[in-house]
Structure 1
Amino acid sequence: MTPQRTGGGLPGYAEHFEEPAGYLDFARYGPPSRQVLDATSDALNRSARADRHTVNDLMLAEQRAREAAARLAGTDPAHTVLLPNASTGMFHAAFGLPGGAVLVPAGDFPANHYPWRRSAGLGRAVPHWLAAAPDGRVTPDAVRVALCDDVVALSVSAVDFRTGYRADLAALREVIGPDRLLIVDAIQGFGVADLPWQAADVVVTGGQKWLRASWSTGFATLSDRALERLEPTLTGWTGVQDAALFDDRGHPPADGAQRWSVTNLSPVAAAGLEAALNLVEKVGVPAIEAHVSARLDELIEVVHRCGGHLLSPEAPAERGGILSFRMPRTPAADVAAALHAHGVTPTVRPDSVRLSAHGSTTPAAADHVHAALTTL
């Protein structure tokens, strides 16, 4: 019997969360902190007792959340816009390109596929499907081979959703050069991987996974190059200059990233996002990343010891917070059933099981996984 490991989660961070020790599904959903619960509850309670000041006061959370997001992304609020989810940002980017070819990994998550399919259907930018390696790697060499004069952008996930492979954003930026846009779906990396987000022209993320802000939260950052080249096709009434001036005229788009705003967002969700971002900023992404890497090392050790086959990279520099694996001659559903019986919450795919740890994950999680896998 394997001795139970001792130790806890990341100090200054883990104590704000309450998920069970065996919860390893952060790549699907990150249970929010007590600060997020308190912030959203307070905002909703205040809205129930609304007076003439309430709505305006609650909507200030959007500006504060935008400022916090900008700091974490290494930019400023003028280049940052809050969004209800990552897919909204990807559609903004896809519909903003008037034409040309966009390199898109063929095995990427569908949120990075459908915007480009719809864009092509409207006669705008057309996806050119980029073959990735079996482990999800989108390498600079593969991109270099696929480049041609028609390519105007590369759209890629920062971290592969299947294997956790971490894209080398700086190298991809160098390969495509300064004349093409680098569009990054950061939802599996932002908040858990210390990546050079400034290398990208568009960074889009949702808050329900690694930021642990719950659903209906997210944001995007746009470089000056993106603001210059992407048409504001989906700009709504809150994304224009003088948005509060109702003069029955069409207003020009806002100068900065706010042009991606379609309408007012929920101030309740914005309050939760602000609380989540502040906690990440206080602890620091490098500290979260280091803690997650240590937990993944323990999980990798367990999978190896139990005869599993890793689908994810083992080198810390090549991975995010995801570990995917298969057990030989054992269907993924049976592996999942064993994990469930031992209090482990994974992501279950038809052919594999995915584990994802976070800053609140303790070493005991690996013991739960070991106990489950030894029953197979």
Structure 2
Amino acid sequence: MNHPHATGGLAGYTDHFQAPEGYLDFARYGPPSHDVLAATAEALTRSARADHHTVDDLMHAEPRARAAAARLAGTDAAHTVLLPNASTGLFHAAFGIPGGTVLVPATDFPANHYPWRRTAALGRAQPRWLHPGPDGRITPDIVAAALTDDVVALAVSAVDFRTGHRADLAALRDVIGPHRLLVVDAIQGFGIAELPWHTADVVISGGQKWLRASWSTGFATLSDLALERLQPTLTGWTGIEDVATFDDQEHPPATGAQRWSITNLSPVTAAALAAALELVEHTTVRAIETHISTRVDQLIDTIRHCGGELLSPDDPAQRAGIVSFHIPGTDPATVAKALHAHDVTPTVRTTSLRLSPHASTPLAAVDRVRAALTSLT
């Protein structure tokens, strides 16, 4: 379904989904919309009835998805490339930096660790691990204290996967200056939080979480500085100029973000990503974020009322979508069992639990959490 680029409002938004009302695990996986299911089924059905038009026609989904991602990121299609997942983009960024030091949060999700460990082992970019302050955040002051002349980039998550803390991307850009690269893993914030993506040189996101496009979907946007500085180390045969000319010669990398392409991606998943992104555009990020913020506030009030301790920030301006907590003296597995008994789906960690609502999450989900936590007492 091809929506207008922007109309706004949540009217009818929930009609696009069928996830159970107690599903609160969008930070791990976002059940896709009817639009995504229909786009996937249509593309697969067409591929099963292939003729001489089929492959070329299905490939039109790729530029459609790329254009939608670019609009939401505040850039253009020439600076945007589709990816099969966020990790692929992080490896592209890491292996594109020939040397120097990259600042990386020590507590970040492992997807933002291993690319830098691999480059270090090969004598390329070396990570310098940043340790958060008492509130668990990597602040501009912490980054400023770690800056030395050899630092060439900062690689951070837009939203912390444990606590939901938002990174202050604009302040981080100010601290590192205009000549160092700012690499942002946006998977926990893109599509549900209005963040200044334009301040980053590389924005990378998978589509299986908050974008609700399901697995094997994602994209990256690259600034002019990123295109200038990052070597196309992992460029494949689809990331070159004159890609359809098979002359047994090495071709130069594409001039834009397409140079991050390794091979053709699935037109089926591209169709799914396009449908998901266009639904976000149609609804608007602001409307989605507003609804999520309301549910987060209600969940926090419920958790505190039931004796839980919050691990996420108190300030709504510093958080995005994620509510992490624990119940003192109660094993998280026991809390999870109570939540499951009330048909609530959380993320369960060793020492805490995480609830992450979406714009389709009804108030009844909060009631289910309240009933589950009350049952523990």
The alpha-carbon deviation at position 12 of structure 1 amounts to 3.0
SS of match in other structure, 1:99: coil
For the residue of structure 2 that corresponds to 1:30, the secondary structure is: coil
Matches within 5 A, 1:1-376: 10-376=10-376
- Give the Cα–Cα distance (whole angstroms) in 1 for the partners of residues 142 and 34 of structure 2: 44
Query: Contact (CA 8 Å) 1:192, 1:210: kept in 2 or not?
Result: yes
Q: Give, as a single letter, the amino acid of the residue that structure 2 aligns with 1:269.
A: T
AA matched with 1:74: G
Residue 173 of structure 1: how far off its partner (Å)? 0.3
Residues 272-297 of structure 1: CA distance to partner in whole angstroms, max 9, x if unpaired? Answer: 00000000000100110000000001
Is the 1:135–1:312 Cα contact (8 Å) retained in structure 2? no
Aligned counterparts of 1:133 and 1:13: Cα–Cα separation in 2: 39
Residue identity in the other structure for 1:335: V
Calculate percent identity across the aligned residue pairs. Answer: 73
Pairwise CA distance, 1:135:
4.1
Letter in 2 for 1:33: S
- C-alpha distance in structure 1 between counterparts of 2:54 and 2:136, whole Å: 47
Deviation string, structure 1 residues 301-332 (Cα, Å, up to 9, x no partner): 00010010000012211001100000010011
Give the TM-score normalised by the residue count of structure 1.
Answer: 0.97
Structure 1 runs (4+) deviating above 2 angstroms are 9-12, 133-136
Specify the code of the residue in structure 2 equivalent to 1:94. A
Alpha-carbon distance, 1:134 to partner: 4.6
Q: What SS class does the counterpart of residue 204 from structure 1 fall into? A: strand
Q: Quote the Cα distance in structure 2 between the aligned partners of 1:252 and 1:73.
A: 27
Structure 2 counterpart of 1:22, one-letter code:
G
Name the amino acid aligned to 2:274.
E
User: Aligned equivalents of 2:13 and 2:77: distance in 1?
Assistant: 26
Q: What secondary structure, in the 3-state scheme, does the structure 2 residue paired with 1:277 have?
A: helix
Partner residue, 1:5: none
Asked if the contact 1:241/1:253 (under 8 Å) is kept, the reply is yes
Deviations 1:82-127 (A, max 9, x none): 0000000000000000000000000000000000000101110000
Which AA in structure 1 matches 2:101? Answer: A
Return the offset for 1:132.
Answer: 1.1
Letter in 1 for 2:40: T
Residue ranges of structure 1 left out of the alignment (5+ in a row): 1-8
Shift of 1:231: 0.1
Tell me which amino acid in the other structure corresponds to 1:261.
S
Residue deviations 1:145-176, cap 9 Å, x none? 11111100000000000000000000000000
- Counterparts of 2:93 and 2:212, CA distance in 1: 24
Check conservation: 1:136, 1:162, Cα contact below 8 A. no
Question: Unaligned 5+ residue runs, structure 2?
Answer: 1-8
Q: CA deviation at 1:15?
A: 1.2
Q: For 1:162-199, what per-residue CA distance to the aligned partner results, in whole angstroms no more than 9, with x for missing partners?
A: 00000000000000001100000000000111000000
Letter in 2 for 1:189: G
- RMSD of aligned alpha carbons: 0.8
Distance across 1 between alignment mates of 2:43 and 2:133: 46
Question: Match of 2:341, as an amino acid?
Answer: A
Distance in 2 (CA, whole Å) between partners of 1:135 and 1:268 is 42
The number of aligned residues is 368
Alpha-carbon separation, structure 2, partners of 1:345 and 1:227 = 41
**Change in 2 beyond 3 A, CA 1:135/1:354:** farther
3-state SS in 2 of match to 1:156:
strand
Give distance in 1, aligned partners of 2:270 and 2:300: 36
What is the alpha-carbon distance in structure 2 between the residues aligned to residue 131 and residue 276 of structure 1? 35
Secondary structure at the aligned position of 1:374 is classed as: helix
Give yes or no for contact 1:135–1:165 (8 Å, CA) kept in 2.
Answer: no
